């Protein structure tokens, strides 16, 4: 037993951030959609082969990723909540924010569509119908980029989500994949990024019901964590990763990633 405890302690020590002092390993704090969609698995080997730098990804909700990076626990931030990203830089935690790529959010629901939202052009109108019908809606409720986007859509509507919580409005406190599973099990509507939905295997009879509203635009950004604020950051390697993601090679790798023939992300880094 003592031997097992010592081995566990050694493993924890090896995984701890201070042990990763070498410049050939970086830690990227990112959102679940970039990981769950398979994007990182597709593009990181190209960067690692070209540079010899290993990329380790922590995939959590955007809010948690930003908090982690603000503690200096990460070298690069790669998320999708522009206002929060800009605040991260303004507070001195990041060097600069850059657009990387975009896709969109969609509202998914059961085929029988009890709230009658299929084909609506405005996400807000769809949410109003869902609330009026008291139809189940699964929210991530986890301060992720998707949750922030959902809250922005609800904000102008006269819907008391606090009162509805636990009734028709059901907060999972989970990532996108787990929330989609919950929505399918409950026959609920849900807001999801399109990339995760395309990659999601357990669709059952759920389908995309609302799409195309400009309010559903989903922009991703990348930021190198500021070494002046967080001295433990591997600044040189982090900047090489940022530069690669924004380069023609990185942007082409993002554009080339497809699932079932569908492009999941659309690069839009500034030249």
Residues 176 and 208 reside in one and the same domain:
yes
Q: Is the pLDDT of residue 38 over 60?
A: yes
Please report whether residue 17 resides in a domain.
no
Please report whether residue 14 resides in a domain.
no
Residues 98 and 169 reside in one and the same domain:
no
Give residue 27's domain range.
23-102+218-267
φ/ψ of residue 60, rounded to 5: -140, 180
Here the CATH number for the domain that contains residue 36 is 3.40.190.10
Q: Which of 180, 201, 216 marks a domain boundary?
A: 216
The domain total for the chain is: 2
- For residues 97 and 221, is the Cβ–Cβ distance under 8 A? yes
Instruction: Grade residue 21 by pLDDT with cuts at 50, 70 and 90.
Output: very low
Residues 118 and 89 reside in one and the same domain:
no
Please report whether residue 40 resides in a domain.
yes
- pLDDT top residue among 23 and 6: 23
Residues 199 and 224 reside in one and the same domain:
no
Q: Is the pLDDT of residue 4 over 70?
A: no
Residues 121 and 204 reside in one and the same domain:
yes
- For residues 109 and 62, is the Cβ–Cβ distance under 8 A? no
Residues 178 and 223 reside in one and the same domain:
no
Q: Which residues contact 52 (CB under 8 A, 6 or more apart)?
A: 24
Please report whether residue 9 resides in a domain.
no
Residues 118 and 247 reside in one and the same domain:
no
Q: In terms of Cα–Cα distance, which of 78, 77, 81 is closest to 149?
A: 81
Q: Which residues contact 83 (CB under 8 A, 6 or more apart)?
A: none
**Please, what is the average pLDDT of the chain?**
92
Crossing angle of helices 62-70 and 82-90, in 10° steps, is 10
Please report whether residue 154 resides in a domain.
yes
Residues 171 and 243 reside in one and the same domain:
no
Please report whether residue 96 resides in a domain.
yes
Measured between alpha carbons, how far is 113 from 73 in angstroms, rounded to an integer?
Answer: 43
* pLDDT tens per residue across span 191-238: 999 999 999 999 999 999 999 999 999 999 999 999 999 999 999 999
Residues 122 and 205 reside in one and the same domain:
yes
Residues 193 and 251 reside in one and the same domain:
no
Residues 113 and 165 reside in one and the same domain:
yes
* pLDDT tens per residue across span 135-153: 999 999 999 999 999 999 9
Please report whether residue 4 resides in a domain.
no
- For residues 234 and 75, is the Cβ–Cβ distance under 8 A? yes
pLDDT on residue 96? 97
| Percent over 90 (pLDDT), the chain | 89
Q: What is the pTM of this model?
A: 0.87
């Amino acid at each position: 037993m003592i031997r097992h405890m010592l081995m566990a302690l050694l493993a924890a020590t090896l995984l701890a951030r201070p042990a990763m002092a070498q410049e050939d390993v970086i830690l990227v704090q990112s959102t679940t959609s970039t990981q769950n969609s398979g994007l990182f698995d597709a593009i990181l080997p190209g960067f690692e082969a070209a540079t010899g730098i290993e990329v380790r990804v922590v995939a959590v909700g955007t809010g948690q990723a930003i908090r982690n990076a603000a503690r200096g626990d990460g070298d690069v931030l790669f998320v999708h909540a522009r206002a929060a990203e800009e605040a991260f830089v303004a507070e001195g935690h990041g060097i600069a924010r850059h657009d990387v790529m975009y896709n969109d959010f969609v509202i998914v629901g059961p085929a029988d569509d009890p709230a009658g939202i299929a084909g609506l052009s405005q996400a807000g109108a769809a949410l109003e119908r869902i609330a009026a019908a008291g139809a189940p809606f699964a929210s991530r409720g986890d301060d992720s980029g998707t949750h922030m986007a959902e809250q922005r859509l609800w904000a102008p509507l006269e819907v008391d989500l606090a009162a509805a919580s636990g009734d028709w409005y059901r907060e999972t406190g989970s990532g996108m994949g787990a929330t989609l599973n919950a929505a399918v099990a409950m026959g609920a509507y849900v807001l999801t990024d399109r990339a995760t939905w395309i990659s999601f295997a357990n669709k059952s009879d759920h389908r995309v019901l609302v799409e195309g509203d400009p309010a559903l635009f989903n922009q991703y950004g990348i930021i190198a964590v500021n070494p002046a604020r967080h001295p433990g950051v591997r600044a040189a390697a982090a900047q090489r990763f940022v530069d690669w993601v924004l380069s023609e090679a990185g942007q082409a790798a993002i554009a080339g990633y497809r699932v079932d023939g569908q492009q999941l992300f659309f690069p839009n880094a500034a030249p």
